[in-house]
Amino acid sequence: MIPINRLLAGYRSYKALYHEKRAELTQRLADEGQRPAILVIACSDSRVDPAILFNADPGEIFVVRNVAALVPPYEPDGSHHGTSSAIEYAVKDLKVEEIIVLGHHKCGGIQAMRSIVSGEVEDNHEFVGTWMNLARDACELHGADDPNSGASVEMATIKLSVKNLKSFPWIQSRIDEGKLRVHGWWFDISNGELYGHDPRTGQFSVVEKLAPVGASE
């Protein structure tokens, strides 16, 4: 099937499911606007779509996607900050109650940065390399030249993004007030398992086994 026709077929299925069988949901979203309680910061990777992964309905989660699910530090310097502006809107305007940084197995952005840090390849990108510098420390700390360190680097990058989230004062204040919780999750594409960072141990465990799952980082 021609790729664009596959999308059109998918659209017809969506329309039949939500605008015909569940018209009350889509009409309410149109009339009342969105009220998602959860912000997911995810990778742009086509294999890890948060809406599919969490079987979410329209309007249920607010999603920010970029290369490697990175969160930059708080830098209100007047430059263009797409990820930070989306986070600001989700927190200040939508008043989300949960933020999930969702990294994943075999992340292409992380793999590229590991190759650059190890000297295996030169950075020939105009934008990606600069963006992925956010993950450089994690790559260097966990051995970018070690072929088995991929998951460790990915998880370390998630923890870095969680740390950067807390550098936003209006995020930290809502955490302190008990109005917002932040989580770091890692999805293993190969086996379908979802792991969450436990701030008490510093380790990642299968999400269902975390106690409590809702603890903020």
| CATH number of the domain residue 129 falls in | 3.40.1050.10
Q: Please tell me whether residues 19 and 77 are part of one structural domain.
A: no
Residue 9 has a pLDDT of 97
Residue 214 has a pLDDT of 47
Q: CA–CA distance from 26 to each of 14, 32, 66, 113 (Å)? A: 11, 10, 27, 41
Residue 87 lies in a domain: yes
Q: Please tell me whether residues 174 and 188 are part of one structural domain.
A: yes
Residue 125 has a pLDDT of 84
Residue 148 has a pLDDT of 61
pLDDT one digit per residue (tens) for the chain, 217 residues: 799 999 999 999 999 999 999 999 999 999 999 999 999 999 999 999 999 999 999 999 999 999 999 999 999 999 999 999 999 999 999 999 999 999 999 999 998 888 888 778 778 888 988 899 998 888 777 765 565 678 999 999 999 999 999 999 999 999 999 999 999 999 999 999 999 999 889 999 999 776 554 456 6
Q: Please tell me whether residues 56 and 123 are part of one structural domain.
A: yes
CB 184 within 8 A of CB 159: yes
Q: How far apart are CA 195 and CA 188, in angstroms?
A: 8
Q: Please tell me whether residues 149 and 44 are part of one structural domain.
A: yes
Residue 12 has a pLDDT of 97
Q: Please tell me whether residues 48 and 13 are part of one structural domain.
A: no
Q: Please tell me whether residues 29 and 107 are part of one structural domain.
A: no
Q: Please tell me whether residues 111 and 204 are part of one structural domain.
A: yes
Q: Is 14 left (phi over 0), alpha (psi -120 to 50) or beta?
A: alpha
Q: Please tell me whether residues 183 and 203 are part of one structural domain.
A: yes
Residue 215 has a pLDDT of 52
Closest CA to 163 of 152, 150, 175: 175
Q: Please tell me whether residues 72 and 9 are part of one structural domain.
A: no
> Residue 5 is part of which domain span?
1-33
Q: Please tell me whether residues 106 and 148 are part of one structural domain.
A: yes
